[in-house]
Chain A
Amino acid sequence: AQSVTQLGSHVSVSEGALVLLRCNYSSSVPPYLFWYVQYPNQGLQLLLKYTTGATLVKGINGFEAEFKKSETSFHLTKPSAHMSDAAEYFCAVSHGNNQGGKLIFGQGTELSVKP
């Protein structure tokens, strides 16, 4: 069975500091991995995804994530936090066998950015 663990339900950084949100997954098949962001009172918006190919994936708003199979990780980073990055971030995994679109989510990490 697939699962996702996000380390840290709350992360606080200063504006301009590095953002690192951790995600580890468990999957018996090659996974597809996603990061979604949820701003207050809005739906989940895709930041980036890994399917195949290059393991370093770049997304919107300056975020990127690296798929590390040996570590079963897909951590999200941004070199310099901005106040507008304050939101909840969700890591998710789906089947890598093209037999279903079900997303399995982590519990989410709330990012706050201090001025």
Chain B
Amino acid sequence: ETGVTQSPTHLIKTRGQQVTLRCSSQSGHNTVSWYQQALGQGPQFIFQYYREEENGRGNFPPRFSGLQFPNYSSELNVNALELDDSALYLCASSLLTGRRQETQYFGPGTRLLVL
């Protein structure tokens, strides 16, 4: 096990609702990255948080937003849910020192179903 935890494990929402997913990073890590994995595809990068600020973003609309807390845990918020948001959401933590980032270690994921 990596020490990265995510909650909840499963979630069912309806279109238009809002959802918050949570991630606790591995001890000693200071960055959290979020990925969306649609069924049958590889994960797609949403964004990364470092020092409580967004440190890079993939091709996702602004209704995907996040937070990082002083203890390095993180939240992913998705507003105005769409059917295509149904996916496995993975968070990954890593250590960033200067420009060097170590390997990203993933949590077990949250499976979101939007009806």
Do they bind each other? no
B interface list, Cβ under 8 A from A: none
Q: Which residues on A are within 8 Å of B, measured CB to CB?
A: none
